[in-house]
Structure 1
């Protein structure tokens, strides 16, 4: 019956199910939410970001993870898959499987029409409960536009926006600069804003 609510899962049940699943799902307060697939532009930007970060952090103790790495916000119970995660030093994981990260320093989401409001709002609100997090980047896939939120010493988050292909995004104090042109390398943006059906 459609009116019968779905049974809630424990986090352990979710993880056992997720580790065997053919697709990724987000977990929050006992509910499981299937995550949509990504467009070609989305995947290219994610790959570019991973490459740029690996190059920029190659002499550091930081590790870059693509979207198959789960991140758990322990304070709220959210378990999700950011598009890109960066952890430094000795990363903290939820268990000995080392597939659910607790201590990201940088998180990146590539925006899509179906997730943009969530990534900007409720999801970022959850991410801010991560004590390790210092940088949150939102990268548009239909135009050159990067939003960089960085945690300041006073506990507030500062937003810097870049709309120029020749711009840079500086991740302090990681000593890493991302060139916007590298994030959009081989990404065809012609006519992108009119393709409303593309996820």
Structure 2
């Protein structure tokens, strides 16, 4: 199945699916904590980027990784590329991708996605958020192209260099019961 065939097929499906090298994978649901963290981060980014050319998207907009023949639905992504305004369903030039972990997310899935995401030239940060324990992992490429981990723990600030956001980590976990 090609990506174009996948897009046409997915329009007829009830749930969302991800695509990797011709294979289709059904997506699982999240939890209320997962949803709250994703919404909090989206709102923080949207407010911060107000009036700027960058746009924030949540889980219903697909990111296409041409080099890996893959398409995923990240929990949150930001693109500042004018060419991404041309397609309402698919973005190809994100600068920031955020995945909120869930019990259904296997570490293999995250590792496989990250391997694909690293092939996006425009990507400057890949962020993993744990909705159950306050902790965020930010990956950024160094000047040699190696992706380096920058952990953020309770009491620290979440700094997303790709978009210039700087907030206490606690803001991401607001209203978590």
What TM-score bracket applies, with the shorter chain setting the length? over 0.9
Give the TM-score of the pair, scaled to structure 2: 0.92
The partner residue of 1:151 within 141, 154, 177 is: 141
Unaligned runs of 5+ in 1: 1-8, 189-199
Structure with larger Rg: 1
In the alignment of these two chains, the number of paired residues is 177
Q: Post-superposition shift, 1:28? A: 1.3
**Partner Cα distance (2:21, 2:130) in 1:** 29
TM-score (norm 1): 0.83
In the TM superposition, structure 1's runs of 4+ consecutive aligned residues that sit over 6 Å from their partners are: none
8 Å Cα contact 1:109-1:119 kept in structure 2: no
What corresponds to 2:32 in structure 1?
A: 40
Please give the alpha-carbon distance, in whole angstroms, between the structure 2 residues aligned to 1:176 and 1:119: 27
Give 5+ residue unaligned stretches, structure 2: none
- State how far apart, in whole Å, the 2-side matches of 1:173 and 1:16 are: 33
Q: 1:47–1:173: structure 2 CA closer, same or farther, 3 Å change rule?
A: closer
Q: Could you list the per-position Cα deviations for residues 109-141 of structure 1 after superposition, in whole angstroms to 9, with x for gaps in the alignment?
A: 001122140354111011000000000110001
Q: Is the 8 A contact 1:137 1:146 kept in 2?
A: yes
Bigger share in strand: 2
